[in-house]
Amino acid sequence: MNKRQAGFGGLQLILAAAIIAGISLVAVPKYKAFVNKSKITEALNLAGESRRKLAEFYMTSNRFPSNDTEAATARTTTLSKPKFVRDLQVKTGFRNNEVAVLVYLNEGVVENPSGDEQYIFLAGNSNKGGEYAVTWSCGSNGIPVDLLPDNCKG
């Protein structure tokens, strides 16, 4: 008796390879976008401690820091910042805001068609309607809008 060998034929292997290639054409860009969006979210979380310190400063002083040296006391202190973060700064008078926390990204972390310096920021302003009230907003520079969290797209 002659046994027939079982296995995949050439056409079946080519079809399987085509299916895998098609799936990877869709999955890889989605994965990269997911990873980049998570980096931006982590950068915003890193700025959160500075935002809290600035809010405490405002609550105790009824004002924001008046200069960058005073604002630097609210800078986030961490033992190990993420590798994609170059620097974190706290500045006064940034883009017509009273105070801002800026998280600068290393070059090439996310695609940057404009070539501008890449950073994300949290900006604070005193709420003129009430005592001890602070309004926070966020934004970015050199980072595609689709990578920003929904509450940061303005």
Q: How high is the pLDDT of residue 93?
A: 92
Return the sign of the alpha-carbon dihedral for residues 110, 114, 118, 123.
negative
Number of residues assigned to the chain: 154
Report CA 129 to chain centroid distance, whole Å.
30
Q: How high is the pLDDT of residue 132?
A: 60
* Single-letter code of the amino acid located at 119: Y
The two structure tokens encoding residue 27: 């999955």
Give yes or no for a contact between 113 and 102, defined as CB atoms under 8 angstroms apart: no
Q: Taking the model in full, what pTM does it have?
A: 0.77
- Would you place residue 12 in the very low, low, confident or very high pLDDT band (cuts 50, 70, 90)? confident
- Would you place residue 61 in the very low, low, confident or very high pLDDT band (cuts 50, 70, 90)? confident
Structure confidence by residue, pLDDT tens digits, 75-126: 877 767 788 899 999 999 999 999 999 999 988 888 777 778 899 999 999 8
Structure confidence by residue, pLDDT tens digits, 27-55: 888 888 888 888 898 888 888 889 999 98
Residue 88's Cβ-count burial label (10 Å; 0-12, 13-18, 19+) is buried
Of residues 116, 120, 125, the one with CA closest to residue 152: 120
Q: How high is the pLDDT of residue 3?
A: 64
Q: How high is the pLDDT of residue 147?
A: 86
Q: How high is the pLDDT of residue 131?
A: 61
Q: What is the DSSP letter of 48?
A: H
Q: What is each CA distance from 59 to 25, 54, 112, 154, in whole angstroms? A: 51, 9, 38, 26
